[in-house]
Structure 1
């Protein structure tokens, strides 16, 4: 039984991982993607509700900026009142005119 399961995993189609050197591999290399929801994982290290912005620290220790106007909250707790410094969140990023910003935040 265990042997079958192992065989299944190695039998996955070869395209499920980005190929080294492809543009996909380069853009996603700074993110720690969760298999289940495809969000990178990070920690809220700064949040200023009145000013409406904050920072998420990636698993590599980079701090990425987000603002309430730009970023969408997703998941079951999609209300800014749930967001607290120190909590682990899922996030997605995109390039903006001001650099790399967090565009989606998922509160678990």
Structure 2
């Protein structure tokens, strides 16, 4: 099939994109190997590898902000408990309270 002047077949462009992807994938692999080599040491003639620690998710990745209103006396009690180190934080206390309520009230 003949193409009008000024048009190219799309398949040719895709081949070049695939080659670029393969080049970037091999570059990513070499970066991974370099990082692995940096974490590989010899100790008394034996290989020593550093433990890989998983990164803890940030607070904003694990929580959603919700605005609510507490009764004044409940808020005072919670603040008092927090001041006396009976609870870590109001957020944790409310989350734990809601979890407890949901599991006792709505779970099978």
Higher helix share: 2
TM bracket (short chain): under 0.3
Higher strand share: 1
User: TM-score normalized by structure 1?
Assistant: 0.25
Of structures 1 and 2, the larger Rg is shown by 2
Higher relative contact order (CA 8 A, sep 6+): 1
